[in-house]
Amino acid sequence: MIVLTILAALFLPYLIIYLYKNAYNKPKNFPPGPPSLPVYGAFWIVLAHGFTDLATAFKKLGEKYKTKIIGLYMGPVPTIVLNDPELIKEMLNREEFDGRMDIIIFRLRSFWKKLGIFFTDGYFWHQQRRFSLRYLRDYGFGRRCEDLESVVATEVKEMIDLRIGGPKYPAEMDIVKGDLVYMPYFFAIPFLNGMLQVFSRSTLPRSEYKALWALTRGTVLFQRSSTDMGGALSLTPWLKDILPNYSGYNDLVKGNQYLLNFFKKLINEAMETHDETYDRHFLDMYITKMKEEMREKDKTTYSVDQLILTCTDYTFPAASAVQFVLTILVERLLLQPEIQDKIHEEIDRVVGRDRLPNLDDRRNMPYLEACIRETMRYDTTVPLSVPHRAMKDTTLAGYDVPEGTMVSANLTMLHMDKDIWGDPENFRPERFLKNGELDLASDKSLPFGAGRRLCAGETYARQSMFQVFAGFMQTFHVSTADGKPLLKPSKRIQGIITTIPEFWVKVTVRE
């Protein structure tokens, strides 16, 4: 016992010295930031500054270290977080920062491979992104398309009828109860059937909406189980084996499986009926290209699994992000009823009640458009963006950035910068208007990112959000389910995207 005590006494100083050196051991000329602690590095300190809101945590750390570019270690990974709007724009537009991190939450969603569009990089990403965007445009993704606009309009009519006419099928009873509707799921169908139209030139009928609501629930479960920077599971992947529930691993797998199963079925049906002499839709075009590559090349980036992940990636925002943008806007109408009155006045003046608003009306309805933009600014959709990776040794703001460094843009700091917005703490759609018209020059927000990693679905998202919300507000007035005034916003849930707790809202037909 005495020997052990002596050994411990001798060993303890060396351990303290080692931990101290490791805590402050950073690459040469690395940005200032918190020290590293065992196992998770500075992640412990980040969590201490904002356990449920990492964007706010990094804001506090920037203030503490008096820097707008924070350098730290997340576990073993050198990491830089940008709190400065100009540095954020610079990084997003520099090719050497186009890389993606290779972490467990990205692997588990893609058959434990590096597949898809969002989380791949290099030659693979270039090839797959170029092909998919080139041919998805033929079916309306990324541009104005009458067929796609017509499909979304049809689904908006069905959405309206679901509330007015009431449920026809069992699954609809979970979404509409009398004059109450369940957010965000009430908004889901137009976005998802719109994406199905893009992929397969077909949509699911109302009797099969259950599958689309399940898709949304799975997507929400997945993204809420992921923290902005990967979290403990990504830093210590072995947690999936010993704490699968507590680490969020089981929820990630369960949520992702909804997406994979849905698109496996859709693509298998396309494969079974595929005819290389005639392309019916995007899925056919991809399958034709895949078979051609497999015949002519020893190695190809095209595969059935990659097609599944391509569809999954492009659908992910439609199954979660855009629905929650509109849901958060509905909550804002309950907090500031005068905004609802202004939207109704604009719709009645520009469109009336005899037809649905269409994309031609968008330029003449600047206030509604400004409300959507202000929602994405005020509640940043992806607060810390999807993490980037430095693909080679480089510099940023005078600091050295080693190859492999994770770089994250704190978009919340950009969207709440007083020098840009003046009064960012106020929800004020008028900031995007000038002389009664939409002033795009005043919109410095980046809800879809920037550079080559700009969200490919921006055009589809903006167009479909306008169609869905304009049609919804043309017909309905919203109020709280219990009839009491809403005095404060609900607690935000920060995962990959910003969401709020699902809620029932009273939706009455306007007189």
Nearest-10 crossing angle of helices 458-475, 337-350: 90
Taking only the tens place, the pLDDT of each residue in 309-327 is 999 999 999 999 999 999 9
479 pairs with which residues across the strands? 506
Question: Mean pLDDT, the chain, as a whole number?
Answer: 92
d(CA 82, CA 70): 6
- Cα-Cα-Cα-Cα torsion 331, 333, 334, 340, nearest 10 degrees, comes to -150
- If we measure between CA atoms, which residue out of 375, 401, 403 comes closest to residue 461? 375
Contact (Cβ atoms closer than 8 angstroms) between residue 383 and residue 228: yes
Cβ burial of 481 (10 Å; 0-12, 13-18, 19+) is middle
Contact (Cβ atoms closer than 8 angstroms) between residue 415 and residue 423: no
Domains and CATH numbers, the chain: 25-101+383-415 (3.30.43.20), 115-382+416-509 (1.10.630.10)
Residue 455, marked binder? yes
Task: Take residue 44 and report the two structure tokens written for it.
Answer: 């412990």
Judged by DSSP in three states, 281 sits in: coil
Confidence of residue 495 (pLDDT cuts 50, 70, 90): confident
**pLDDT computed for residue 20 by the predictor:** 44
- Tell me what the mean pLDDT of segment 35-60 comes to: 90
**pLDDT computed for residue 16 by the predictor:** 47
Confidence of residue 134 (pLDDT cuts 50, 70, 90): very high
Task: Take residue 35 and report the two structure tokens written for it.
Answer: 């020290």
| Residue-wise burial string across 330-360, b where 16 or more C-beta atoms lie within 10 A, e elsewhere | bbbbbeeeebbebbbebbeebbeeeebbbbe
Contact (Cβ atoms closer than 8 angstroms) between residue 223 and residue 495: yes
**pLDDT computed for residue 232 by the predictor:** 81
Residues 6+ apart with CB under 8 A from 485: none
Q: Supply the DSSP symbol for 388.
A: E
Taking only the tens place, the pLDDT of each residue in 89-112 is 999 999 999 999 998 888 999 999
**pLDDT computed for residue 316 by the predictor:** 92
d(CA 279, CA 270): 11
Amino acid at 318: A
Taking only the tens place, the pLDDT of each residue in 330-353 is 999 999 999 999 999 999 999 999
- If we measure between CA atoms, which residue out of 288, 307, 386, 317 comes closest to residue 111? 307
Contact (Cβ atoms closer than 8 angstroms) between residue 107 and residue 116: no
Q: Supply the DSSP symbol for 439.
A: -
